[in-house]
Amino acid sequence: MNLIKNNALGLATLALMFGFSSCKPKNVGSAVSGDAASKSYVAPGKYDEYYNFVSGGFSGQMSVYGLPSGRLLKVVPIFSVNPENGWGYSEETKPMLNTSHGFIPWDDQHHLDLSQTNGEIDGRWIFANANNTPRVARVDLATFHTAEILELPNSAGNHSSPFITENTEYVIAGTRFSVPPDDSNGDVPINTYKQNFKGTISFISVDQTNGNMDIAFQLQCPAVNFDLSHAGKGVSSGWFFFSCYNTEQANTLLEVNASKRDKDFIMAVNWKQAAELIKAGKGRKQAVKYASNRYNEKTHTATSTIKTEVTVMDVKDFPGLVYFIPCPKSPHGCDVNPTGEYIVGSGKLAALIPVFSFDKIQKAIAAKAFEGEYEGIPVIKYDAALYGEVKKPGLGPLHTEFDDKGNAYTTMFVSSEVVKWSVKDLKVLDRVPTYYSPGHLMIPGGDSKKPTGKYLVAYNKITKDRFLPTGPELAQSAQLFDISGDKMQLILDYPTIGEPHYAQAVAASIIRDKSVKFFKIEDNSNPYVSKGEPTAKVVREGNKVHVYMTAIRSHLTPDNIEGIKLGDEVYFHVTNIEQDWDVPHGFAIKGAATGELLIMPGETTTLKWVPDRAGIIPFYCTDFCSALHQEMSGYARVSPAGSNVPISFSTGTNQPKSDSIPAK
């Protein structure tokens, strides 16, 4: 009682102190004004306005938050195994992480792009990049499940990716590291970068009926580092813009050697023309090796196919396809405003933000207003492409998003702030500090033709003292700003998973109502499905034992299994035969070195188990599914190799012999 009393008093005192501190003038301390809490408050039981998809950085996954509350709604595993739901552990999902290098359990996920129709977010899919071993994934937004992962040959460090065209015709992926092409002898001295290295841009086609991705073609470009990109839209429809750094073509100490030139480039690509050239049979077939992994929602099983050919066009052979535009100081972000007229290049070492005009670029091309060539590609004169410069925006500009009122918002890494400026007159309108050192920022629809104007989230790289300390590593902070007024207002801090890079958000109504509640058991065509308890069974095939198991509240069928022998490989094919929303079951067996399972209603997943000793081995449901969850368990009997215990299985009938029950 005393303790409670003291705590209550302590809290009250704290509240009092906090109350007073909020009376300080603005821009002192945390710069939060009094109505921030109400602006981000979503009452218990109420929904957020937006789904916010946030890249997981070095976690390899994608997280989904609600805005404005900052509630974590889900972590969707993509490029890393995920113990929470068996991604990469179950036999059915392992092929999703297959590559030409074999199974890769962990990658680095940087950028996300929601599918669009006519430049507006349509809520069908979200695309994600693997930065390290170059891949692009497609996540289905009806199931929030990764549906496809496609590896990219001729690439290394898939950073300028995945950015889509206006109607999701293509997902574009530019390589960060230029490398010798996959079909060349790559065993060359590293300092032969200029002679032997190439930069590749992949154009991935998207089947509009089912989302399936394929590499339509690749553009072989001069060896530089492609950093980020965005599609043209509206007036610049059919074009794509890439930021390029290391135009010095350094291969060592890039920190110094890739920062020498006063200007690097924005690369403008006429992708419609490229697509037509490919259609006309241009380009050469190149022998490569890459994995195409697709998840089938009916079999609940992924298939990995190794493909061996891509069509490549060397851009210098096709005049008119590609132009370079000088852009100061190692540009990072490459962002296109909602009308498509203005292209913003954020030179991370520049003291200004150049804004290029698509109209002027076209006129410069027509007038051949070139200052020369770079590796055979025309370089447009800076002033001929430039609309204007944002002067003194802050230090270290990185990324720009747009609102619905003609404003742009740019993160400043070094000066740790978000700067709002007018696209029309390039005047700085407002600036607000972030805590600390923001990387990407995101406005719902902020890179589409139809941005919103209510919220902005800055994803910060440095946390330090913003949250209670948790040892040397702290969760990266996201900061939510209200941008509906003239002044940006910080309304919420919240922690994120991994390291967020780019993010996307869309009105909840676009996605909410089509969300799948469970998988229909009658549609399940997994070869090892058991659609009901009568078909549950155990089948021996040589030294492989297949257990066709069902799970329903609150028992597993079969739950007594005998006849397994040392030397066997046992496959538990567990079908969750529930047809009820949010009732997954789990499966774990003692000593399984392969992990566990989490099985959605209507789904079949498989755990491989190689017993390493004879004895009685319990198994159980790991997801608290019901009041009798603790009863949802069973036993497997493992006999020595060569034992003659026959395969047998049962549920509820293998009662103890009556004479074995002790008398009362």
Stretch that binds other proteins, among 4-12, 77-85, 86-94, 590-598 (CB under 8 A): 4-12
Per the CB < 8 A criterion, the answer to whether 160 and 110 are in contact is no
Using the minimum distance from each CB to other proteins, give the nearer residue, 192 or 515. 515
d(C-alpha 409, C-alpha 402), whole Å = 6
Stretch that binds other proteins, among 227-235, 404-412, 587-595, 625-633 (CB under 8 A): 625-633
Both structure tokens of 154: 């001729």
Residue of the chain from 5, 613, 657, 664 that contacts other proteins (CB under 8 A): 5
- State in angstroms the smallest separation of the CB of 588 from other proteins: 20
Using the minimum distance from each CB to other proteins, give the nearer residue, 194 or 517. 517
Using the minimum distance from each CB to other proteins, give the nearer residue, 8 or 539. 8
301 φψ region: left (φ > 0), alpha (ψ -120 to 50), beta (else)? beta
Both structure tokens of 41: 């408050």
- State in angstroms the smallest separation of the CB of 621 from other proteins: 12
Q: Does 12 bind other proteins (CB under 8 A)?
A: yes
Report CA torsion sign: 21, 26, 28, 34: positive
Residue of the chain from 4, 253, 366, 663 that contacts other proteins (CB under 8 A): 4
Near other proteins in 542-561, by CB under 8 A: 552-554
Using the minimum distance from each CB to other proteins, give the nearer residue, 43 or 663. 43
Stretch that binds other proteins, among 125-133, 237-245, 461-469, 626-634 (CB under 8 A): 626-634
d(C-alpha 170, C-alpha 201), whole Å = 12
Q: Does 657 bind other proteins (CB under 8 A)?
A: no
Both structure tokens of 163: 């950015």
Pure H helices in 79-208: 193-196
Per the CB < 8 A criterion, the answer to whether 575 and 585 are in contact is no
- State in angstroms the smallest separation of the CB of 553 from other proteins: 4
Using the minimum distance from each CB to other proteins, give the nearer residue, 44 or 542. 44
Near other proteins in 86-125, by CB under 8 A: none
- State in angstroms the smallest separation of the CB of 50 from other proteins: 18
Q: What is the DSSP letter of 57?
A: B
Strand partners, 76: 62
| CA 124 to each of CA 21, 87, 138, 206, 401: distance values in angstroms, whole numbers, following the listed order | 46, 22, 10, 12, 22
- State in angstroms the smallest separation of the CB of 54 from other proteins: 26
Amino acid identity for residue 565 in this structure: K
Q: Does 22 bind other proteins (CB under 8 A)?
A: yes
Using the minimum distance from each CB to other proteins, give the nearer residue, 83 or 652. 652
Q: What is the DSSP letter of 257?
A: H
Near other proteins in 583-602, by CB under 8 A: 583
Residue of the chain from 46, 260, 285, 464 that contacts other proteins (CB under 8 A): 46
Using the minimum distance from each CB to other proteins, give the nearer residue, 8 or 306. 8
Residue of the chain from 306, 539, 616, 628 that contacts other proteins (CB under 8 A): 628
Amino acid identity for residue 516 in this structure: V
The phi and psi torsions of 276 (rounded to 5 degrees) equal: -70, -40
Stretch that binds other proteins, among 82-90, 236-244, 296-304, 621-629 (CB under 8 A): 621-629
Q: Does 16 bind other proteins (CB under 8 A)?
A: yes
- State in angstroms the smallest separation of the CB of 32 from other proteins: 10
Per the CB < 8 A criterion, the answer to whether 554 and 625 are in contact is yes
CA dihedral 651, 652, 658, 660 (to 10 degrees): 50
Using the minimum distance from each CB to other proteins, give the nearer residue, 284 or 517. 517
Near other proteins in 567-586, by CB under 8 A: 578-581, 583
Q: Tokens 């709002």 belong to which residue? A: 420
> CA-based angle 485:486:489, to the nearest 5?
65
- State in angstroms the smallest separation of the CB of 637 from other proteins: 23
Residue of the chain from 27, 28, 38, 187 that contacts other proteins (CB under 8 A): 38
Count interface residues toward other proteins (CB under 8 A): 41
Residue of the chain from 27, 28, 44, 613 that contacts other proteins (CB under 8 A): 44
Using the minimum distance from each CB to other proteins, give the nearer residue, 83 or 532. 532
Per the CB < 8 A criterion, the answer to whether 379 and 369 are in contact is no
- State in angstroms the smallest separation of the CB of 606 from other proteins: 24
Residue of the chain from 45, 471, 485, 646 that contacts other proteins (CB under 8 A): 45
Using the minimum distance from each CB to other proteins, give the nearer residue, 467 or 581. 581
Q: Does 19 bind other proteins (CB under 8 A)?
A: yes
- Strand order, beta sheet including 72-76: 72-76, 62-67, 50-55, 503-507
Both structure tokens of 410: 């740019």
d(C-alpha 310, C-alpha 292), whole Å = 13
DSSP-assigned states of every residue in 361-416: HHHHHHTT-EEEEETTEEEE-HHHHEEEEEES--SSEEEEEE-TTSEEEEEETTTT
Q: Tokens 């940087």 belong to which residue? A: 110
The phi and psi torsions of 60 (rounded to 5 degrees) equal: 85, -5
Residue of the chain from 484, 560, 626, 650 that contacts other proteins (CB under 8 A): 626
297 φψ region: left (φ > 0), alpha (ψ -120 to 50), beta (else)? alpha
d(C-alpha 319, C-alpha 326), whole Å = 19
Near other proteins in 204-263, by CB under 8 A: none
Using the minimum distance from each CB to other proteins, give the nearer residue, 622 or 626. 626
Q: Could you count the other beta carbons within 10 Å of the beta carbon of residue 189?
A: 9
> CA-based angle 193:196:201, to the nearest 5?
90
Near other proteins in 286-345, by CB under 8 A: none
Q: Could you count the other beta carbons within 10 Å of the beta carbon of residue 167?
A: 18
Q: Does 28 bind other proteins (CB under 8 A)?
A: no
Q: Does 8 bind other proteins (CB under 8 A)?
A: yes
Q: Does 523 bind other proteins (CB under 8 A)?
A: no
Binding positions for other proteins, rule: CB under 8 A: 1, 4-5, 8-9, 11-13, 15-16, 18-20, 22-23, 33-35, 37-38, 41, 43-46, 517-518, 552-554, 578-581, 583, 625-628, 631, 652
